[in-house]
Amino acid sequence: MEGQKNQVVDEARSILFKKYEMGRLLGQGTFAKVYHAKRLGSGDSVAIKVINKDHVKKQGMMEQIQREISVMRLVRHPNVVELKEVMATKTKIFFAMEFVKGGELFAKVAKGKLKEDSARKYFQQLVSAIDFCHSRGVSHRDLKPENLLLDENENLKVSDFGLSSLPEQLRNDGLLHTQCGTPAYVAPEVLRKRGYDGAKADTWSCGVILYVLLCGFLPFRAENVMKMYTKVFKAEFEFPPWVSTQAKRLISKLLVADPEKRITISAIMEDPWFQKGFRKPIAFSIEEQENNEEWQGCRGEVEMVRTKSSPPFYNAFEFISSMSSGFDLSSLFLSKRKSGSMFTSKCSASNIMAKLESLAQKLNFRVVNVKDFKVKMQGLVDGRKGKLSVTAEVFEVAPEVALVQFSKSAGDTLEYTKFCEEEARPALKDIVWSWQGENECSDHQRPMVHENGGEICA
């Protein structure tokens, strides 16, 4: 009997893509289920969000899923739930995300108001995360305690970017026009169904959240939704007696009906009440780490032999792998072409090197080092994360074909993407044969991943 039980357990063991052992159901919504899982080998816990493709297509929600992936790739911050990777089969999409153990902030608020120091800590982490989102052109648009999770160290993590907006969603007037979010936390300009600034709408929601944390209940309460809307439109609310004067002053600047008069995120971060004990977290980019790991992995296939007279050799398998979008699952979901950071050229390696040095001078970059068919250049002006530093390296693919690989050594990822797209591409067009990803599978041959994790053009 015991042997039969063990056999059932073994049979029930579900392994996803030979990477994750699936566990218990954590929760489910209209379009997705979320499971606890463990990464094979390391045993690290993750949350796997499983989305049925047919279901979201029928409901016209595929664009929303694509947007959520795009947003989570852009926003990498200590107080934002991390998207580790995206996988897919013909029927399902899988998000492997950071597993946040502490549950929703809502569960804490449901028990009553928080102490001021605790409320301030969560609010500081929320504002830091939203400030970073806004710097990437991302508005969350559904901020509420249910979408704020807590990790094992009681640090806040913003989740659920399904309703987030990206810059390309703005109309010609520069505003968003989609009504979304949870009414109790939504800004009045969104409820009025007029154009609105997503960042300013997020700021209002932050104000409602801060009020709830300090008071234990919503600022705009009424017996029905229409009466609540009336209060929201007028920004009509009262403070209980226990809220401190400084906190009242800040909330009163946040919950302002006119978005043009509402306090900005940068001004919030300068507020005396907010500043108490505040340390701004350092934002990071998992994309950079992943790209470096992939790059190191493909280089490991062949021993690089470098001489002063010729660039390093780049073998055919690496070349095909790196230049084919069929090896990049993101092309399943991202509507825009991934920024090119690699191109082929029929020019000689020495001519390419001269062109790269000329590029640095033209763009007002300082050439830090030129050695062994590698150019390191650094911007002169500080960006969001200091000076942008870029390395360009030339490889030999065949006697008359060279491959040029750009990589970011330091600085901000978004600024590096802009460098590749808006500066390097136009400046190098006369020596470029083909940029990475421009020879993609046709529409009827989109890259797909088998149930066992293998890739094909299906």
pLDDT in tens, the chain (458 residues): 444 443 333 334 688 888 999 999 988 776 778 899 999 989 999 999 888 888 777 777 777 677 667 667 767 788 888 888 888 888 888 888 899 888 888 888 888 899 999 999 999 999 998 988 888 777 877 888 888 999 999 999 988 765 443 333 333 444 333 444 467 888 888 888 777 788 898 999 999 999 999 999 999 988 788 888 899 999 999 999 999 999 999 999 999 999 999 999 999 999 999 999 998 776 543 343 333 333 232 222 222 233 345 565 554 444 444 444 333 334 434 444 344 577 888 888 888 888 888 888 888 888 877 777 888 888 888 877 778 888 888 887 666 778 888 888 888 888 888 888 888 888 888 888 877 655 443 333 333 333 333 332 22
Helix, strand or coil, per DSSP, at residue 61:
coil
Give the CATH number of domain 2-98.
3.30.200.20
**Would you name the residues annotated as active-site residues?**
142
**CA end-to-end distance (rounded Å), the chain:** 45
Q: Which phi and psi angles does 261 have, rounded to 5°?
A: -100, -5
Query: Model-level pTM greater than 0.85?
Result: no
Q: Is 49 annotated as a binding residue?
A: yes
> For the chain, which residues make up each domain, given as ranges?
2-98, 105-275, 286-323+339-436
CATH number of 105-275: 1.10.510.10
Nearest to 265 by CA among 277, 250, 283, 279: 250
Sequence-distant contacts of 381-389: CB under 8 A, at least 24 apart: 383/411, 383/412, 383/415, 384/135, 384/412, 384/414, 384/415, 385/283, 385/410, 385/411, 385/412, 386/410, 386/411, 387/411, 388/412, 388/415, 388/416, 388/419
434: β partners: 344
Name the burial class of residue 152, with classes exposed (0-12), middle (13-18) and buried (19+) by CB atoms within 10 angstroms of its CB.
exposed
What is the DSSP secondary structure assignment for residue 422, as one 8-state letter? I
- Please state which CATH class domain 286-323+339-436 belongs to: alpha beta
